[in-house]
Amino acid sequence: MATVRIPDRLYMEIEERVKESGEFESVEEYVTFVLEELLKDEEEEEYSLSEEDEEKVKERLRGLGYL
């Protein structure tokens, strides 16, 4: 485990959110969850195609006899 420093104000806001949600056991658990979700979302965005690009791929696959 590593230590990350955040402003006290932010820690207190997260701590309040943890208490209100009842879903997380600690600030650390909440922050870990949020960061994992953020990274997952960024990863998914990297590999997603725009509608235009997706249509181009489909056209090429049709031309090759795959669709």
pLDDT in tens, 9-22: 999 999 999 999 99
> How far is residue 44's CA from residue 23's CA, in Å, rounded to a whole number?
25
In one letter, which amino acid is 33?
F
> Is this structure's pTM higher than 0.85?
no
pLDDT in tens, 14-49: 999 999 999 999 999 999 999 998 888 665 656 667
- Ranges of each domain in the chain: 8-63
Q: What is the pLDDT of residue 64?
A: 75
Is the separation of the CB atoms in 35 and 29 below 8 Å?
no
Count CB atoms within 10 A of the CB of residue 64. 8
Q: What is the pLDDT of residue 6?
A: 93
